[in-house]
Structure 1
């Protein structure tokens, strides 16, 4: 999907439902608000996307990470039932929540499509929240941020389920290069988002304030808290001077929580997702051309692409990513295909011609000059010469995911 098309879809959806997020600059240095789309109360255009927390942030994993209890007595059931059992953030019952609930009722088809889109991801995210002892409401945040579309991209360059902008992604060790963008990677981005939320909860000791900070930035929220304290006000959401989009962020999440809690009140039937893993992880320490893997497994390339949106190309380069996610229903076929997979020969021979330069040869084979130099023992004292036979490292060729 093009950036322009993606933005149009977001504007239309946000105007209908009010399901859009906004994140301001975190840290004490400033409060830059990004804006995305009109919400249900015509609040104006608001861009969404996480903004980088304070530079050189040191995460403290106390608070909700101090104790994890696994309850093996629970019945398998469906994923929504398990999520409901771990709701623990205090509820809001306000007019703003009622407005968001009405928006959901008016747009049932779009909500149902959004729920269906969460199938490959929701169980994993809910389980990651449970492992950390975090409220299961947090697993619903991607509904607000991206409508559970891992390819969602905002005009502020935020990407993925959790909508990290580039600087925040780097702050939380999410790789971003021509091979991978881990802001779109389910496992990496979920780890980063829950790390950030943990940091915010440890800062405030309150999930509502943590969610406001996630949306607007901790620096901005801390300044709003200080302003309220100086005015002698109790520190509640209603008493904080917040931009409209941030003020409505928690009501949006609350409305979705209420939908999951009582879908019959919304006239919506939740899709039946089993409370079990959707995918398995396959570890590889060699490059993989996923087009060939799909061919050997007898499946469409899209089956692999669906769970690996962080890969920018249909090639998994071991130097940048070593884990492939595959649906459980296709895992046997894909593993069988991997047993037949033959990686390309490690090198190709090239005979240097008059006028050749290392940079031109490297560009021709889509490799790095340093790799050619290292493999062939070249140096300033040993340059290339016409007639010299070079070994060129082979890697799967990049291309389009659609090929």
Structure 2
């Protein structure tokens, strides 16, 4: 479907849904997600910025793509990333008591706020640039502060993961791979693309960023029904006039408070960290598997520096068949490129065709690897049987460690 016809179709769907009361709300997973956020009110000023994204799991939507990755311009003079973000603020401001309550919470938790700001360093420039590239408000680059406190490994009780907190079903609807090797809900580039796709869809539905943000938090079906109810009562569908769960009611005030902090940090007694307005990472394309621990050793770079840019990998091994792009800090990209030229797997990955009478245990013993390693590499569950003629990939190391090993 062409972009223009897609947008028009979304708008028509929204109108029909509002008029007819079509039930397109989120499923049971969203009810679980809401329990994870402690709402803030005038009597309880305890801050709880961690939130969850559990968009409608029933949404049948395929976005066009794949999107081209942003071009890195190393010749551009670096400024300040926060100043650039301020220039792109365009969501209508909200001035309510709820915003003041959130601001006071930020003031009372300066250490937590500073930690969040520091944690955003590897990711904030890229996300802000992606928003600018699409002509979207730069406030959206602040949403991961609310969703995950900019922790790509954040996981909710409803199994939402990553900076943008996608639940498994919604991740699949936005083409985020989730398998034994990668979980792109944690991948910076892939999850940001998916989140901005979803926000674009919601804005096209409502034509209003406040309603789009409410839908991102609560689900588009629930917001459509709340809008319909307000309109039937002769009210404008504003934040004050919509019947919303407490957590959703505070979602935009949270964002507004953060926006105000970025706009005027001195008012909060804070100094924003100095992040240059230039790329933090570079991309390296790989057509062969690589063990990141060995690359870090060869380059003389801490594994953690590579790990935090590639949180979508379930193991410290990049399997090119599942993820062919490695993100590395710009300042170490030359060293890592050089180490890749030196890199040689100790045991090249092997293939084996299953013969009649073979068992996984016998195959594992033959190649001196574990049964679990073969199952993991080939996506085999405990109950999935091997059959004659099946091609198996054999791990190139006796044991595949986890990131924590």
Asked if these proteins are the same fold (TM beyond 0.5), I'd say yes
Structure 2 equivalent of residue 147 of structure 1: 149
Decide whether aligned partners of structure 1 residues 392 and 176 sit closer, same or farther in structure 2, where only a CA change above 3 A counts.
closer
Q: 1:52 corresponds to which residue?
A: 56
**1:399 positional shift:** 0.6
1:367 partnered with 2:374: yes
- Structure 1 residues 357 and 275, CA gap change in structure 2 (3 angstroms): same
Question: Which deviates further from its counterpart, 238-247 or 40-49?
Answer: 40-49
Distance in 2 (alpha carbons) for counterparts of 1:56 and 1:117: 34
Q: Which residue of 2 aligns with 1:39?
A: 39
Q: Gaps (5+ residues) in structure 1? A: 1-25, 66-73, 372-377, 384-389
Offset, 1:59: 4.3
Q: CA deviation at 1:54?
A: 3.6
Partner of 2:6: none
Question: In the alignment, which of 270, 273, 286 is matched to residue 272 of structure 2?
Answer: 270
With over 3 angstroms needed to count, the CA separation of the structure-2 counterparts of 1:89 and 1:392, relative to structure 1, is closer
Match of 1:17 in 2: none
Q: Is the 8 A contact 1:100 1:252 kept in 2?
A: yes
Which residue pairs with 1:3 in the alignment?
A: none
Unaligned runs of 5+ in 2: 1-22, 68-75, 379-385
Equivalence for 1:226: 228
Distance in 1 separating the partners of 2:350 and 2:82: 53
Is the 8 Å Cα contact of residues 79 and 274 (structure 1) preserved in structure 2? yes
Compute the displacement of 1:53 (Å).
4.6
Q: 1:256 aligns with which of 242, 255, 258?
A: 258
Match of 2:11 in 1: none
Cα distance, 1:370–1:321 mapped onto 2, change above 3 Å: closer
Q: 1:126 pairs with 125, 128, 134, which one?
A: 128
* Bigger mean CA offset, 110-119 vs 293-302: 293-302
Deviates more, 1:154-163 or 1:52-61: 52-61
Deviations 1:290-317 (A, max 9, x none): 1111111112211211111111101001
**DSSP 3-state at the match of 2:221:** helix
Distance 1:204 1:346, change over 3 A: same
Question: Equivalents in 2 of 1:76, 1:288: separation in Å?
Answer: 32
Aligned to 1:281, the other structure's residue is in SS state: strand
Q: Identify the residue that residue 87 of structure 1 maps to in structure 2.
A: 89
After TM superposition, give the deviation of residue 52 of structure 1 in Å. 3.4
Is residue 357 of structure 1 aligned with residue 346 of structure 2?
Answer: no
Which residues in structure 2 correspond to 1:3-402 (within 5 Å)?
Answer: 27-28=24-25, 32-33=30-31, 34=33, 35-41=35-41, 42=44, 48-59=52-63, 76-346=78-348, 357-364=358-365, 365=369, 366-367=373-374, 393-396=394-397, 397-402=399-404
* SS of equivalent residue, structure 2 residue 270: coil
Q: Distance in 1 between matches of 2:62 and 2:317?
A: 34
TM-superposed deviation, 1:60:
8.1
Distance 1:180 1:296 in 2: 24
Q: Deviations over 1:35-63 (max 9, x none)?
A: 213233259999733233543224489xx
Check 1:248–1:357 CA distance in 2 against 1; reply closer, same or farther (3 A cut).
Answer: same
Q: Judging changes above 3 Å, is the alpha-carbon distance between structure 1 residues 344 and 361 closer, same or farther for their aligned structure 2 residues?
A: farther
Task: Please tell me whether the aligned partners of residues 45 and 101 of structure 2 are also in contact (alpha carbons under 8 angstroms).
Answer: no
SS of 1:324's equivalent in the other structure is strand
Change (3 A) 1:348 1:116: closer
Measured at CA, do residues 295 and 254 of structure 1 come closer, stay the same or move farther in structure 2, by a change above 3 Å?
same
Whether the 8 Å contact between 1:60 and 1:199 is mirrored in structure 2 is: no
Q: Which residue of structure 1 lines up, in the alignment, with residue 381 of structure 2?
A: none
Distance in 2 (alpha carbons) for counterparts of 1:348 and 1:368: 14
| TM, length-normalised to structure 2 | 0.79
Q: 1:59 to 1:318 in 2, by over 3 A?
A: closer
Question: In the superposition, relative to structure 1, how do residues 300 and 58 fare at CA in structure 2: closer, same or farther (>3 Å)?
Answer: closer
Q: Does the C-alpha gap of structure 1 residues 393 and 78 become closer, same or farther in structure 2, counting only changes over 3 Å? A: same
What is the count of residue pairs matched by the alignment?
A: 351
On the 8 A contact 2:45/2:105 being kept in 1, the answer is: no
CA distance in 1, matches of 2:142, 2:256: 10
Q: What root-mean-square deviation, in Å, do the aligned CA atoms of Structure 1 and Structure 2 show?
A: 3.1
- 1:368: how far off? 6.1
